[in-house]
Amino acid sequence: MGSVDALGRLEQLRAGAAERSPDVRTLARFASTAQCRVANLGFAARVDFDKLLLGTRFAAPFGQSPFAFRRGLVFEERLRADGHQSLFAALGEALGQNVVSPRPVNLRERIAGGKRGMAARATATEEVVADVLSGRRGAPNLLDGAVLTREVCGVPAYFEADAVLARVGEPLHAGEIKSFPTVDGQADADKLGAAVAQVAIYVLLLRELAARLGRDADAISNEALIITAKNTGLQPAVIRKPVAREVQRAARLLAAVPNAPELAASLSSRTPTFGSVSDPSAPAEARIERAETLLERVGTHYQPECLAACGLSRLCRQRAHRSGSPDRMGASFTRLVPGVPSLDRLGELAAGAPPKASEASVAEQVALAAHHLDELVPVPALVRNRRRVRQ
Partner 1 sequence: MNYLDVVLAARARAAGRAVRSASVRHRHIAARPLAMVFWQLGAEPFTAAAVAWGHRPDRRSMAVPGEPRDRTLAFRALSRVAEEFNPWFEYGAAGEGDLPQVVLPNAGNLAMLGRLGRRLAYLPTTGEHAASDELVRFGRHLQFLHEHARYPGQQLVLVLTDLLRTHWATELSHLETQSLPALDAAIEPPAKKSGHEAAFAAERVEIGPAPGHDDDTVLSGLLDTFNAVRAKSTDESLVAPLRGPIEAHFSARIDRAWPLVWRCLDRERQLLEGASVAERWKTDEAALGRHFSWAIASGRPLATKDSSRAAAWKLHSWEAAVAELEMNEAVDDPMRMIPALMSGRAVRGKVIAVDLENRVQGATRRIRRPLVTLETDQPLTLPSDVELYWSGAAKTAAYQIQEVLPSKKKGCTRLVLEHQTQSNVPRPASGSMATFSVYGRSPRPPLMLPDHDPWTHTAPASSAKSDDIETEGENP
Provide the β-strand partners of residue 160: 23, 147
Q: Which is nearer to partner 1, 115 or 384 (CB)?
A: 384
Residues that bind partner 1 (CB under 8 A): 61, 63-68, 71-72, 179-181, 183-184, 188, 230-235, 304-305, 307-308, 314, 318, 321, 324, 328-330, 332-333, 335-337, 343-344, 346-347, 350, 365-366, 368-370, 372-373, 376-378, 380-381, 383-384, 386, 388-389, 391
Smallest separation, CB 360 to partner 1 (Å): 14
The full DSSP string for 248-302 is HHHHHHHHHS--HHHHHHHS-TTSPPHHHHH-TTS-HHHHHHHHHHHHHHH----
Q: In angstroms, give the least distance from the CB of 375 to partner 1.
A: 8
C-beta closer to partner 1: residue 84 or 328: 328
Interatomic CA distance for residues 82 and 142, integer angstroms: 14
In this structure, is the dihedral angle defined by the CA atoms of residues 320, 324, 329 and 333, taken in order, positive or negative? negative
Q: How far is the CB of 293 from partner 1 (least distance, A)?
A: 21
Question: Residues 37, 300: contact at Cβ < 8 Å?
Answer: yes
- Which H or E run includes 240? strand 236-242
Whole-number Å distance between alpha carbons of 309 and 194: 11
CA-to-CA separations, 190 to 84, 196, 225, 268, in angstroms, rounded: 28, 10, 16, 40
CB of 97 closer than 8 Å to CB of 238: no
CB of 83 to partner 1, least distance (A): 23
Q: Is the Cβ of residue 229 or residue 295 nearer to partner 1 in the bound state?
A: 229
Report the residue number, 11 or 344, with the smaller CB distance to partner 1.
Answer: 344
Q: How near is the Cβ of 346 to partner 1 at its closest, in Å?
A: 4
Minimum Å distance from CB 347 to partner 1?
A: 4
Is the Cβ of residue 9 or residue 319 nearer to partner 1 in the bound state?
A: 319
Q: Cβ closer to partner 1: 100 or 381?
A: 381
Burial 245-269 (b: 16+ CB within 10 A, else e): ebbeebbebbeebbbbbebbeebee
